[in-house]
Amino acid sequence: MTDISENSENSTTTVTRHVRPSAGRRTRVRAAAIAVALVVGATGAAVGGSFAAPPASAATVAAAGACAAPQPETQVHYELPFSWESTGTKDQQNLFVCGGHKGVDFGYVQALEGEPVSAVASGRVVERGYEGCHGNYVVIKHPDGVYSAYAHLGRIVNDLAVDSRVELGQHVGTVGRSGGEGAGCEITGAHLHLSMASNWSGWNTSDFFDPKEYIGARNGDGYGTV
């Protein structure tokens, strides 16, 4: 059981004791309960019944600050590779979880196998290859310094070389089911895994953040197509 669950249980036990606490103690108890609820909500647990991510660990909470999206000055226009409706909530694992799932999965609800995958913004290819867990993948650095990574591709576009420029919406590969090798890497169907990071040093050491929030705030008319 995680530390958060233990803290939540302790807070619940304190609140439901059959004693009459002082006014100051009641205030502290209520504040502690609110703090626990905020931590759980921020890490992806059920909010309004929309979805229920796995319980967050103490390490996840400690790393929450590292998952904050950057706020670069350069304005770049972003677009989704597919609709958010294609993400769904399959097994509660296909949304971003700080310290856990490193991105958003598209294609578990709407069948997308073989569909072309588009770059979410203009930029330059900094890496392409194969990795056991994430399969065929492409990484693009955008003008605002942010990186987008596309994983489990069925194939990568042949002439998409490292250091080549890509434009918003340009195809980089196709939705597939490559990878899935290793503990915790199992995949149950074809989908696109989209990650975004403030730096790129590999799948295990980059600083990832939620693509949904970042892209959603940058696809309006106020952002150019740098």
Last residue of a domain, one of 62, 82, 99: 62
Question: 54 and 97 in contact (C-beta within 8 Å)?
Answer: yes
30 and 97 in a single domain? The answer is no
Total domains present in the chain? 2
Cβ-based burial of 90 (10 A; exposed 0-12, middle 13-18, buried ≥19): middle
Of the candidates 37, 62, 87, which is a domain's last residue?
62
Q: Compute the Cα dihedral for 21, 22, 24, 30 and give only its sign.
A: positive
pLDDT at 109: 66
Q: pLDDT, tens digit, for every residue of 42-94?
A: 333 322 222 233 444 445 444 456 799 999 999 999 998 988 776 655 454 57
Query: Does residue 55 sit in the same domain as residue 79?
Result: no
pLDDT tens digit string along 107-126? 876 778 999 999 999 999 99
d(CA 151, CA 103): 10
pLDDT of residue 1: 41
Q: Is residue 224 part of a domain?
A: no
Please report where in the chains the tokens 């000055």 appear, as a residue.
73
Size of the chain, expressed as the number of residues it contains: 226
What are the structure tokens assigned to 62, written together?
């400690």
* 137-156 pLDDT tens trace: 999 999 999 999 999 999 99
17 found inside a domain:
yes
SS3 of 103, please?
Answer: strand
Q: What is the Rg, in whole angstroms, of the alpha carbon atoms belonging to the chain? A: 20
Structural domain for 22, as ranges: 3-62
Shared domain for 132 and 169, answered yes or no, is: yes
191 and 108 in a common domain: yes
| Helix or strand run (H / E) with residue 208 | strand 208-209
Measured N-to-C along each axis, helices 23-42 and 3-16 cross at an angle, to the nearest 10 degrees, of: 150
Q: Which of 18, 36, 62 is the last residue of a domain?
A: 62
221 is a domain residue = no
Please indicate, yes or no, if residue 223 is contained in any of the structural domains: no
More confident residue, 194 or 221: 194
The rounded mean pLDDT for the chain is 74
Of the CA atoms within 13 Å of residue 211, those in its CB half-sphere come to 30
Residue 97 pLDDT grade (very low, low, confident, very high; cuts 50, 70, 90): confident
Q: Are residues 17 and 113 in the same domain?
A: no
Do 26 and 108 lie in a common domain?
A: no
Tokens encoding 141:
């650095």
pLDDT at 127: 98
Give the CATH number of the domain where residue 204 resides.
2.70.70.10
Mean pLDDT, residues 176-205 taken together: 92
Give a yes or no: residue 24 inside a domain: yes
Residues 55 and 97 in one domain: no
Q: What is the pLDDT of residue 167?
A: 97
Write down the pTM of the prediction.
0.69
Q: In this structure, are residues 173 and 155 in contact, taking their beta carbons and an 8 Å threshold? A: yes
